Chains A and B, each alone.
Chain A
Amino acid sequence: MSQYSFPDAAGHFGQFGGIFVAETLIPALDELRSEYERARRDPAFMAEYEYELKHYVGRPSPLYHARRWSETLGGAQIWLKREDLNHTGAHKVNNTIGQALLARRMGKKRVIAETGAGQHGVASATVAARYGLECVVYMGAEDVARQAPNVFRMKLLGATVVPVQSGSKTLKDAMNEAMRDWVTNVDSTYYIIGTCAGPHPYPMLVRDFQAVIGEECKQQCADQIGRQPDAVVACVGGGSNAIGIFYPYIDVPGVRLIGVEAGGLGVETGRHAAPLTSGAPIGVLHGERVNLMQDENGQIIDTHSISAGLDYPGVGPEHCHLNEIQRAEYVAATDDEALVAFHDLCRYEGIIPALESSHALAHARKIAPAMSPDQVIVVNLSGRGDKDIPTIARLDGIEL
């Protein structure tokens, strides 16, 4: 009974999305769109993608009952979709494999990527090594400093990491620089966008490659719990892990979909990265029309989050649409709330979560106590926290 069918042919999710890029890139996006349409109807392409997910990534990722944490919170049962157990330690690789296979199919020998926390950069560098592609990763200089382990990981994998010194030196500036590279090297280069954002067809193809998370989750819930969850909770920066787990549930009634944005120092302080929760006006950036943190003159506002991966002023167009049609709800968790949830998961479940995913955990922690013990929350544990250990140590005043 699938009624939901977005985007439309022009890449619009309702009034969101679209193709807002310079003319030079339009033919490349047209080529990508038609190649993707052919690839996803090609059984050999899909079989290779699924083979790689199974044997290289280690899918399916487990659905794990966080029993001890649930008991401690004293309400709903919290289950974790363990994307942190994927090869490279996050959900990002689901998408980079799909896009690297597309790049290879299109005869591109060079891939570029932008990265915030470094997870997408690592996942891109990984598949580039796997398929023998040259890889250049753009990363804001501030993020290079706060995500040092991932920077070294990318270099080990043979990628060139370019620190971006312009603007706020974070994810949005890395994306600007990646677009400048792409427009210069458009003939040879495939741009692997890491989140469900950017010009059409990226939001659609990233969603499609990430939807494996939600598809597995539906099956696992049926097998392990005997029912579908009351709520599915995921963190949202651009929103790729969230759209991956939400998408297969959009037409399933009775399942609340909750996206958790980065509340930073508190949405009321203005120092956050929560465009949907704060009701940011609609604007155009990085090829798409979305809710966007901007001033009254249409200039983009600097965002703040403890989590580099959520530190972005926009959000993918499909989330804007799901928010507008009220199929999904969007809330924020502050830096402090995310840190409490981070430590909870370490101490009660023996799992070190990524700071990004800790925002989703923080919201589960908030709503679980008011729910009954026979209710179920699934949290998409989108990544593991090894990369964040230096940040956490610094916050705790510990020298490593």
Chain B
Amino acid sequence: MSRIQKTFSRLQAAGRQALIPFITAGDPAPSATVGLMHALVAGGADIIELGVPFTDPSADGPVIQRAAERALAHGTSLRRIIAMVAEFRERDADTPVVLMGYANPVEAMGYEAFGAAAAKAGIDGLLTVDLPPEEAAARAAILKRHGVAPIFLLAPTTPPERAQAVARLAEGYVYYVSLKGVTGAANLDVASVAAKLAELRAHIALPIGVGFGIRDAESARAVAAVADAVVIGSRVVQEVEQGEAGLADRLTAFLGGIRSAIDAPRP
């Protein structure tokens, strides 16, 4: 059983939902990333999505765009990020780590080389936003052979029959993009998310995480009522953007607040 599967079965047995924070690797500096990952776990992260910065993040809003620019200015590369995860694994053998980014850095490294290096470093999954199922079959097969879960997006515009195509390729969990827009947008509508998830669940058995537009304890709790996992990205990256002073503690505290809101008993 993979680390991701173990995590979801443990949570499901306890009737809880996963909390998945996102940070961009190398932001604010490559030397900070491993420490921040541990701080996220201390704040209650069940899985970490680690952003791979790209020069042309066309699906991201300004907050994550700026994070990518800061990380790239420090020379953060996919190979260095893999090494960061290997270092994280020295002290954390259990928390799944999923790399999230765009196709080209992985294309440049090559899927075989990436799959082998990622597995060795203890990376559990890969989500490339610009790799839809249409182009993914051969690439996903390589990842699976190395034990790295290919993670796919579903969107408000996804018709049910496409969810079946995703289900055939996906492992780990699927990531439902809660709104039409870029990361960090502010127009989350929980009722429509709930309706769409009910429709998608008829076609896909994997746990469904929901992200985009979750900003605070209240929206996290509302999403947790309908999803298997809550993904929170831009709001976490905003904390990073506030500066390095006390950053690890601030991340732990911020995430702890979200964690409590998700876990609080429901009437």
Query: CB within 8 Å of B: which residues of A?
Result: 10, 18-28, 166-167, 172-173, 175-176, 179-180, 183-187, 281-287, 289, 292, 294, 296-300
Contacts and interface: CB of A to CB of B under 8 A. Distances in A.
A62 B159 CA distance: 48
Contact of B132 (A26, A166, A283): A26
Contacts of B61: 180
Nearest to A28: B157
B59 A19 contact: no
B159 to A, nearest CB: 6
26 contacts: A19-B134, A20-B131, A20-B135, A23-B152, A23-B155, A23-B177, A24-B153, A24-B155, A24-B157, A26-B134, A26-B157, A26-B162, A27-B162, A28-B157, A167-B55, A180-B61, A183-B59, A283-B107, A284-B130, A289-B107, A292-B104, A294-B104, A298-B104, A298-B107, A299-B77, A299-B104
Contacts of A180: 58-61, 182
Nearest to A281: B108
A-B pairs with the 6 shortest C-beta distances? A298-B108, A298-B105, A24-B155, A297-B77, A23-B153, A176-B58
A166 B56 CA distance: 9
A33 B217 CA distance: 41
B182 A183 contact: yes
Q: Pick from A20, A21, A282 the residue with the most CB of B within 10 Å.
A: A20
B135 A22 contact: no
Interface of B: 54-61, 65, 69, 72, 77-79, 102-109, 129-132, 134-135, 152-159, 162, 177, 180-182, 185
A227 to B, nearest CB: 43
B104 A22 contact: no
B110 to A, nearest CB: 10
Of B103, B108, B158, B162, the most chain A CB neighbours within 10 A belong to: B108
Contact of A22 (B78, B105, B107, B129): B129
B78 A285 contact: no
Nearest to B102: A284
A55 B6 CA distance: 67
A287 B130 contact: yes
Contacts of B78: 297-298
Contacts of A296: 108
B7 to A, nearest CB: 24
Given A284-B107, A298-B104, A176 B130 contact: no
Contacts of B155: 22-24, 26
Contacts of B58: 175-176, 179-180, 286
Contact of A10 (B65, B134, B158): B134
Contacts of B162: 26-27
A50 to B, nearest CB: 33
Nearest to B152: A23
B130 A183 contact: no
A7 to B, nearest CB: 13
B236 to A, nearest CB: 20
A180 B61 CA distance: 8
B153 A183 contact: no
Nearest to A287: B130
Interface centre among B129, B134, B159, B182 (most CB of A within 10 A): B134
Nearest to B80: A297
A128 to B, nearest CB: 22
Contacts of A284: 102-104, 107, 130-131
A360 B79 CA distance: 40
Nearest to B78: A297
Contacts of A18: 134-135
Given A22-B130, A23-B153, A298 B106 contact: yes
B130 A21 contact: yes
A173 B77 CA distance: 21
A166 B182 CA distance: 15
Contact of B105 (A21, A175, A297): A297
Contacts of B109: 297-298
Given A27-B157, A184-B182, A186-B180, A294 B108 contact: yes
Contacts of A24: 153, 155-157, 177, 180
A18 B107 CA distance: 14
Given A27-B157, A166-B65, 10 more contacts: A21-B130, A26-B158, A27-B159, A27-B162, A176-B57, A184-B182, A184-B185, A185-B180, A281-B108, A299-B72
Nearest to A176: B58
Contact of A299 (B54, B132, B156, B157): B54
Nearest to A168: B55
Choose among A23, A25, A27, A167 the residue with the greatest number of B CB atoms under 10 Å from its CB: A23
Contacts of A25: 157
A143 B2 CA distance: 49
A289 B156 CA distance: 26
Contacts of A298: 54, 78, 104-109
A167 to B, nearest CB: 6
A283 B59 contact: no
A233 B108 CA distance: 32
A377 B15 CA distance: 74
B129 to A, nearest CB: 5
Contact of B180 (A26, A179, A187): A187
A262 B137 CA distance: 36
B132 A21 contact: yes
Given A297-B79, A299-B72, A19 B135 contact: yes
A206 B146 CA distance: 40
A26 B156 CA distance: 11
Contacts of B72: 299
A285 B104 contact: yes
Nearest to A166: B65
